[in-house]
Structure formats: structure tokens, C-alpha cells
Amino acid sequence: MRAIRQFLLVLSTGYILFYFSELLFWARLRPGDSLPDWLATWLAYSLAGFAFLCLLSYFRVSDIWGLFLAGAAFGWLTEGLLVQTAYEILPLSLSFTGLAWHALITVWVGWYAILRSLVSPNRWATLLLSASIGAGYGLWAISWWLEPDGGIASLAEFAAFSFSATLPLLLACWLFNWSASTPFIPHRWVILVIAALFALYFFIVTIPAAPLSAAVLPVLLALVYLGLRRQRGYADRRPLLESLPGKVPAWKYLSLLAIPATGTLVYALALKMGIQVHTNLVLYFITTPLGFILFGYSLYRSWRGPVAPVETG
């Protein structure tokens, strides 16, 4: 049973990361999309999610700054290992999307804030957060209207894509909550196999495609390691993974549908008013420097030590 729970924890985490990193990012059904491709991408995110969960568990990450460092590792494994976008426009590409989207939006907001809101005593927390995410999602989606590889999806197409992508998110969050009640302690051989797969991929695929990765990625991951290593000294603090599971009313999971509902409303208003704005540039200009700032501050906080314990409830 424990092995099943841990397997489902990885898969559910993988879908949450996949949803906020890919589905919300592309915000539409693209010509080359297919169910097998989505399943393969979900599996890739589950592998990266496994590494992310291992970092949280092994280093007993107990605050949002350690979480950002683990999120940075996840972001750079995704964008610097599995694909090679992290080396396209150095140094800015180190932040967008590894830090600015994956660590900040996917991990901090999509994974942690959503899961925390579900177990929060505030009955409106998930609904308000989901509606806010949905509004930002709708504004982001209209930026594809002006991109060469984008296009204007009809309101029906956008709504169908958004709701169909979000429905599995409800199940993923429920599965995470159920499976996370058991401590995540994977067998050593599983960790070694996954690490070997990543290393093999790095040497066979990543380095030939982006030779700079041989020097850049190890340094980035070493910085994360040095920062997270300090987290293990805070044994008196409750790890974040232990604070996320709890009793969640069924209707709270339904509150997640506010993401596609609010996003579709914003999208509909933009269509009706004929608004065409490079909203993506606004996000780039804000989050790219913010990603660097948060990463630097997270390293600083890891060495300085915690100020207050993580609130639970």
C-alpha cells in the first residue's frame, strides 16, 4: 500500500506540475497536440516531480525559500535537461522559464499555494486563489493571438481546452492529499535508477544539443544543493510535505474549476472588446528579474536560517 501511495503521489504531483507548466502556458490546443504526447509529457513531469519530491523530503524543506530552491531545481531539470531552452538567451533564459515560471508560478502558486488552500480553514481560500489564477491565465492566453506560432482560438475551443485540462487537476489534488498522508521515503534503488536515467539523458541528448549545459547545469544544481543542505539542520521545523495533507471537503476541489471559468470569462471579454495586447511581455519584464532575485534571496535565507516556523492548519 505504501508503494502505491508513493507512486500516486509522484503521478499526482507530475500532473499538477504539468498542468501549471504546460497546459496553462500554451493555453490552447495546438495543431501537433495529441493524447499520447500529453501522456508522455505528463510522465516526463512526473520524473522531474519525483526529483522535486526527493529534494523536499531528503532536505526536510520547511519554508517557502527552501521550496523555491527545490522549485528551481525542478525548473532547471525541465528546461535545462529535458529540453534545452535554459541556454537560448543567457543569462535571461536561466530565469524564464526555469525560475520565473516553473519555480515561481508552477511550484509556489500552482503546487504549494493551491494545496495549502485546500487544507486551509478558510472556506473561500481555494475559490479566491483559483479565480485569481484564472484571471491571470485568461490575460496570458490572449498574448498568443499576437505570436507567430499562436493564433486566436474560438471561445468554445478555449473553454473546452481549459475545462478538460482542469478536470484531471481535481483528481490529481485529491490523490495528492490522500497519498501524501504517508511520508514520502522512496527506496534508494528507485532514486539511483531515476538519477541514472537523468544522467544518461544529459550525456546522450542534452550536451550534444546544447554543449554549454555541460558547464552551466552542474553549477546551477550545485548552488541548489548547497542551499538546501542547510535545511537539514532545521530539524525542529515541520517539513512542508507534512503540512499539505488534511481533511478537504469535496466542494473545495470543485472550487478549482474557477480557474477555467474565470479564464474563459476574461478571454470572452477580450474577444468581445477586440483587445490585443502583448500580455506575455508584461509577465516577462516582471518575473524574469524577480526569478533571479528570489533565487538569490532563497540562497541567502537558507544560510541565514529560519525566522519563524511554518504555520499549519
pLDDT, tens only, 142-196: 999 999 888 899 999 999 999 999 999 999 999 999 999 999 999 999 999 999 9
Residue 37 in domain: yes
Say which residue the cell 518575473 belongs to: 287
Q: Which three cell numbers stand for residue 94?
A: 536561466
Check residue 236 and give its pLDDT: 64
213 in a domain, yes or no?
yes
DSSP string, 78-96: IIIIIS-GGGSSTTHHHHT
Omega cis (within 30) before 245: no
Count how many domains the chain has: 1
Q: Is residue 309 part of a domain?
A: no
Query: Domain range spanning residue 286?
Result: 2-304
CA distance 202 to 130: 36
Q: Look at residue 193 and tell me if it is in a domain.
A: yes
Is residue 129 within 8 A of residue 137, CB to CB? The reply is: no
Residue 102: C-alpha distances to residues 51, 88, 94, 198, 203 (Å)? 14, 17, 11, 19, 23
The pLDDT value recorded for residue 307 is: 47
AA identity, residue 26: W
Model confidence pLDDT, tens digit, residues 203-224: 999 999 999 999 999 999 999 9
Give me the pLDDT at residue 2, please: 84
- Domain assignment present for residue 228? The answer is yes
Residues 6+ apart with CB under 8 A from 153: 28, 29, 144, 161
* pTM, full prediction: 0.95
What's the confidence (pLDDT) of residue 234? 62
74 found inside a domain: yes
Cα–Cα distance list, 209 to 7, 45, 82, 197, 205 (Å)? 31, 20, 11, 17, 6
Distance CA 179, CA 173 (A): 10
Q: Is 257 contained in some domain?
A: yes
CA dihedral for 191, 108, 133, 285, sign (positive or negative): negative
Which residues of the chain are under the pLDDT cut of 50? 307-313
pLDDT of residue 110: 97
Instruction: Write the CB contacts of 72 (distance below 8 Å, at least 6 apart in sequence).
Output: 98, 99, 102, 103, 220, 224, 295, 298
